[in-house]
Structure 1
Amino acid sequence: MYNLASVLVARVQPWALLSLWLVLLAASPARATHIVGGELDLQYKTGSTYTLTLTLYFDAINGNAAALDQSIVAGIFDKATNRELQSVTLPLTSNTFVSYTNPACAVGSLSTRKLLYVKDITLDAATYASASGYYVAVERCCRNLAISNIVNPGGAAQTFYLEFPAVVRNGASFIDSTPRIFPALGDYACLGNLFYYDFGGQDPDGDSLAYDLVTPLNGHSTAANPAPLPAAAPYSTVTWTTGLGTTNQIPGSPPLAIDTHTGRLTVRPSRLGLFVFGVRCSEYRKGVKIGETRRDFQLYVLNCPSNNPPVVTVQANGRAYRAGRDTVRILPGGSRCLTLRYTDPDPNSVLTLTAAPVNFSDPATAPSFTTTTSGTVRASGQPDTLTATLCFPTCADSKGKVYYLNVLVADNGCALPKRDTVRVAFLATPPPSSVPVLTTSFPPEVAGTTTTVRVALNQPYTATLLGTDTAPNPLALTAAGEGFDLASVGMNFQAQNGTGRATATFAWTPTCGAATANPDGLLVHFALTQSGTICTPHIITRTIRFVVARPADSLAFRPPNIITPNGDGLNEAFTLDQALPPNFCASQFAGVSIFSRWGRLIYQSPTRSFRWDGGGVGGIYYYLVTFTDGRRFKGWVEVMP
């Protein structure tokens, strides 16, 4: 990230600047581009479309402006044959600066640009089906002249490289996106101090990621031909200086290393200078490697002012907490707060406290600060001691397990904050909660079924509900129709809610409108809701289906089939009033028609109480009765004068 020339300029007297720059310019050919590093990224978009991105990091202080390309060419190759399948021109779409972790630590000789070259490409299943997979490469020369851990850095090139699998596997679409490595920062390291940085990434497909250090690729580009079209693998690597290598890219105690699982990069550098390093992130699906991406980057090691780490201590229940030995118990009615004391041996240090869950994520259990979490230690040699209070929620619940919480204090030292962490083990038990009881005058509830209540047409129906709670928690009774408003069908619900007790009355007088519109009934959900300062509020529900009861139909339609209109007063006329189902709302008697055996209409009446005496002509006749809801009744009757 740094260039030695700029560092020297910052440390010499003004009168020497001109001669120094002349020497440096004479020694530095114009071909030097001061590329800091970068990586390739391939993200699935839709269908056969993917987005290919080259992120290029560029020295904003010493970079050759002429080498800031407006476009860069990438090549896509078959791993099995090294045959080039596509040549893609990536246009420059973004040019921004890389941020420092702590902007106050910025130094004038270190400034890095982040250049994005982006284009959508097509990876069709017919072409990209090789089981061996594919790789993408971009080649560019040259690196920073001041790099101290490789041979001939001014003539060393870079090959940006990633691998991806076939887009179809076993006849089915196989979608994969490159892991997203954590964005680079503009930080530098301090000689003899631990430097840490999170290179860990996120995989859009949920694949497993593994990290390792690799020797950066050099490739085919040269100072004389700095931007050739990409050529196929293999790619040569940079040459380490004596005593350094892949596992010792930046000398230190410990030397540069990366955690295989987390991607956390650490080094305690033992040498000043500018160091290039390479990181590989491999992705695995079901235990099989399917791709990788590499990032080249640089780390500048400076002499920094002395900075001592801060210290944080924890007190629980009036006693000093002993990490690794004590477990804090958060119990109902007991103390729920921790007292934190933090300080720093260095004067004018600004300290900041944070708390981070380790093995839990429930926000109802995570504690929060009730006092300020930052302050300045001002007394030299006699450091101040700042205090803060961290309290667990009333409903904190570790579910019988030991949860861990990291209490961390960080100073504002450069290049990165010094920290101290106390890991607090705790068991949290929430206060007990009561379960309210709902009783009603509805028919008893049968598990797994919906209770049905039949209400006679135009007859008032009422029911009562009672909610009780042994604890003084607020209770509320409510009722809601499923897909309808209670008032729209004439239902009325009145509730008297209160603490520990709630009552309600439900009333309904059904009409034909409700019966006609809802022949299958009306579902009403009744609920008793518990609230207040309780950890697990309960809701007790009851669902009732209200049906407008139809008047009982005859068990069977048994009409008379013989009439004897002979004047003796018995069976004088044919009538069906008592034999037919009763009229009900939309189901009303519409009419009767009587026909001769040859189909001629003999008699017709719209009146339910009709009486037909046979017209004085004996024989067998046929009738048809219709109702307004479409129901029909047929039969025959014999007239015997």
Structure 2
Amino acid sequence: MKKLFTLFLGISIAASSYATHLMGGQISATYLSSDTSGSHYFLDLDVYRDTLGVPMTLNQSVDVFVLDTSGAYVFSFSHTMIFDTLSGNAMSSMTTVYGVEIYHFSDSITFPGNGYYMIKWSDCCRNGAIINMSNPLSENMTFLTYINVDSTNPNSSPTFLTPPVSYLPADTLWQYNPLPFDPDGDSLVWHLSVPLSAGATVPAVVLGYENLSDTTYSNATGIFSIDSITGQISWNAKMAGNFVASFAIEEYRNGVLVGAMSRDMQFVVIPDTNNAMPNISNMQTIPTNNLGYPYVKIAPGQNYQLHLLASDADVNDVVSMSAFGESFGLTISASTFGYVPTLNGNEIEGTFAWTPDMSQVRPNPYLVVLRTSDGFFYYDETVQFEVTLTTAVEELDAFKVHEIYPNPASNSFMLPLSLDKGQNISVDIYNILGVKVSAKQLNLSVGNHILIKNFDLKSGQYFVNIANANGLTITTKKLLVVK
């Protein structure tokens, strides 16, 4: 840990004589209501900076422009936002190692009439240590959020649901998902963009900016990229240093563009080869779709649980796990997540639980990001959950799986099953690395059954996955093998 702190300090001091050291941020606008005075929105501005620069001004202004009939943006009004000292999010530290502050500004604003608006925030200056810009100290950092305001057809801007991650190791495959999301359920398209600087109404892009997908910055085993389906970013950084990337979201309603926003992020890559990356060891136990993505189908009313094991090769590191996604913010039948130590070194077991409601059935899956951390590095995995009627609640009710016994077991276990109708099922066993070590297909008739499973497995933790003929996971049971 001391070694890692020294590395971070070295990178930080290299830029300590520069200006404000802006690192990134974003703007989002959430619809509240409409009346004769206009459409009322709640505006959130998040700005990230390192603690070695000049402190942020605690009042920040945004400029609002409206698109006229000629296709030009015309200034409408400015609004001053106050630094949020009440929510508990104010200037929170992202890590105890590298000083990063999150400044959260929020306030309500009123758009005077319907129209397509642009919200703009800009300040100087970026961190002079940024490598993939030709002259970062001379560049502003500017955020733009576009939103179509229509009092009869309310619209909120898209946003990102996960907090940013500021640092990662060089020469190591790393994953991060900002988790694009639209509260109105509009269709989203996301992509890498070019950071913006100062300039006219619509600012210019940063001069001399180089994409991190360039082989100068990415190893061939992990070119910097964003997945078009999940939004997950993958990177195997080729060198240490400070780098900036920009991620843009566009939202479409019935095929029409109704908004857009972006997030700037500065990554600090450190040359640390001694600190291992925390990870989820049994991701391979999760079903996948035809494209190879982790994909789980859940029927409304199904009490579904996903058990995940996470650990770190550095035995003295403390591992934690968190989860983000739309399903956690639902007002009815929200999902839950928590983790507990397994008492096997620093290993923890995280449990995602969800019993979705009928109203949550839809063709588009819910994205859930599972983030592991050892206090220094973070690593994201993304799982898609589809709430579907493909397998009806009645079918799930007709399939009851009881508890494994004995558990712990040495060379066999019994699993009671109850079926109201005959069907094919699969019983698969996975080790903690997610490798399938046993598979069995059964054609069972109506009634009560006791499955007797003999095995020759080493001592350790395993997962027994029970699925129906449609591939829908009915339940996953933990099995402890003791020789």
Distance of aligned partners of 1:284 and 1:246 in 2 relative to their CA distance in 1, 3 Å threshold: farther
Q: Deviations over 1:459-482 (max 9, x none)?
A: xxxxxxxxxxxx9xxxxxxxxxxx
| Match 1:174 to one of 150, 153, 156 | 153
Give 1:118 deviation, angstroms. 2.6
| Match 1:291 to one of 254, 259, 279 | 259
Give 1:123 deviation, angstroms. 3.1
| Match 1:136 to one of 104, 115, 119 | 119
Structure with the bigger percentage of strand: 2
* Structure 1 residues 186-225: aligned runs within 5 Å: 186-220=165-199
* Structure 1 residues 222-233: aligned runs within 5 Å: 231-233=200-202
Distance of aligned partners of 1:213 and 1:119 in 2 relative to their CA distance in 1, 3 Å threshold: same
TM-score (ref. length: structure 1): 0.44
In the aligned structure 2, how far is the partner of 1:273 from the partner of 1:192? 12
Q: Please, which runs of 5 or more residues in structure 1 have no aligned partner? A: 1-5, 221-230, 315-320, 325-336, 379-384, 394-405, 435-470, 472-641
Distance of aligned partners of 1:388 and 1:61 in 2 relative to their CA distance in 1, 3 Å threshold: closer
Give 1:163 deviation, angstroms. 1.6
Which residue of 2 is the match for residue 307 of structure 1? 276
Which residue of 2 is the match for residue 251 of structure 1? 217
| Conservation of the 8 A alpha-carbon contact between 1:250 and 1:269 | no
In the aligned structure 1, how far is the partner of 2:349 from the partner of 2:121? 54
Larger radius of gyration: 1
In the aligned structure 2, how far is the partner of 1:70 from the partner of 1:389? 41
Which residue of 2 is the match for residue 374 of structure 1? 342
| Conservation of the 8 A alpha-carbon contact between 1:72 and 1:89 | yes
Distance of aligned partners of 1:141 and 1:376 in 2 relative to their CA distance in 1, 3 Å threshold: same
| Conservation of the 8 A alpha-carbon contact between 1:147 and 1:153 | yes
Give 1:288 deviation, angstroms. 2.1
1:416 aligns with 2:366: no
Which residue of 2 is the match for residue 64 of structure 1? 54
Give 1:265 deviation, angstroms. 2.1
Which residue of 2 is the match for residue 456 of structure 1? none
Distance of aligned partners of 1:291 and 1:341 in 2 relative to their CA distance in 1, 3 Å threshold: closer
In the aligned structure 2, how far is the partner of 1:179 from the partner of 1:194? 28
Secondary structure, aligned partner of 1:174: coil
Secondary structure, aligned partner of 2:133: coil
* Structure 1 residues 539-558: aligned runs within 5 Å: none
Identity rate of aligned residues, in percent?
20
TM-score (ref. length: structure 2): 0.57
Q: Please, which runs of 5 or more residues in structure 2 have no aligned partner? A: 289-304, 325-329, 356-367, 384-390, 401-417, 422-446, 448-483
Which residue of 2 is the match for residue 280 of structure 1? 248
* Structure 1 residues 385-534: aligned runs within 5 Å: 412=374, 414-416=376-378, 429-430=399-400, 431=418
Q: Deviations over 1:219-269 (max 9, x none)?
A: 32xxxxxxxxxx423x2111235xx33754992232322222322222121
Distance of aligned partners of 1:264 and 1:412 in 2 relative to their CA distance in 1, 3 Å threshold: same
In the aligned structure 1, how far is the partner of 2:21 from the partner of 2:160? 22
In the aligned structure 1, how far is the partner of 2:351 from the partner of 2:150? 54
Secondary structure, aligned partner of 1:278: strand
1:266 aligns with 2:266: no
In the aligned structure 1, how far is the partner of 2:44 from the partner of 2:340? 43
Which residue of 1 is the match for residue 64 of structure 2? 75
Give 1:49 deviation, angstroms. 2.5
Distance of aligned partners of 1:78 and 1:268 in 2 relative to their CA distance in 1, 3 Å threshold: same
In the aligned structure 2, how far is the partner of 1:202 from the partner of 1:377? 36
Secondary structure, aligned partner of 1:154: helix
Distance of aligned partners of 1:248 and 1:52 in 2 relative to their CA distance in 1, 3 Å threshold: farther
Give 1:300 deviation, angstroms. 0.9
Which residue of 1 is the match for residue 147 of structure 2? 164
In the aligned structure 1, how far is the partner of 2:60 from the partner of 2:146? 22
In the aligned structure 2, how far is the partner of 1:289 from the partner of 1:323? 34
**1:213 aligned partner, one-letter code:** L
Which residue of 2 is the match for residue 97 of structure 1? 91
Q: Deviations over 1:72-96 (max 9, x none)?
A: 1413131644242412222224151
| Conservation of the 8 A alpha-carbon contact between 2:119 and 2:144 | yes
| Conservation of the 8 A alpha-carbon contact between 1:310 and 1:345 | no
In the aligned structure 1, how far is the partner of 2:191 from the partner of 2:102? 25
Distance of aligned partners of 1:374 and 1:419 in 2 relative to their CA distance in 1, 3 Å threshold: farther
Q: Deviations over 1:35-76 (max 9, x none)?
A: 2222222222111322252524242412313x5252314131
Distance of aligned partners of 1:145 and 1:249 in 2 relative to their CA distance in 1, 3 Å threshold: farther
In the aligned structure 2, how far is the partner of 1:57 from the partner of 1:232? 21
Distance of aligned partners of 1:89 and 1:145 in 2 relative to their CA distance in 1, 3 Å threshold: same
In the aligned structure 2, how far is the partner of 1:112 from the partner of 1:279? 20
| Match 2:40 to one of 36, 39, 50 | 50
Task: Specify which structure has the bigger relative contact order, considering alpha-carbon pairs within 8 angstroms and separated by 6 or more residues.
Answer: 2
Which residue of 1 is the match for residue 451 of structure 2? none
Distance of aligned partners of 1:414 and 1:203 in 2 relative to their CA distance in 1, 3 Å threshold: same
| Conservation of the 8 A alpha-carbon contact between 1:411 and 1:419 | no
Distance of aligned partners of 1:413 and 1:388 in 2 relative to their CA distance in 1, 3 Å threshold: closer
Secondary structure, aligned partner of 1:91: strand
1:120 aligns with 2:109: yes
User: What is the aligned residue count?
Assistant: 343
| Conservation of the 8 A alpha-carbon contact between 2:165 and 2:378 | no
Q: Deviations over 1:252-295 (max 9, x none)?
A: 23232222232222212111111111110110111222210111
**1:416 aligned partner, one-letter code:** Y
In the aligned structure 1, how far is the partner of 2:154 from the partner of 2:348? 53
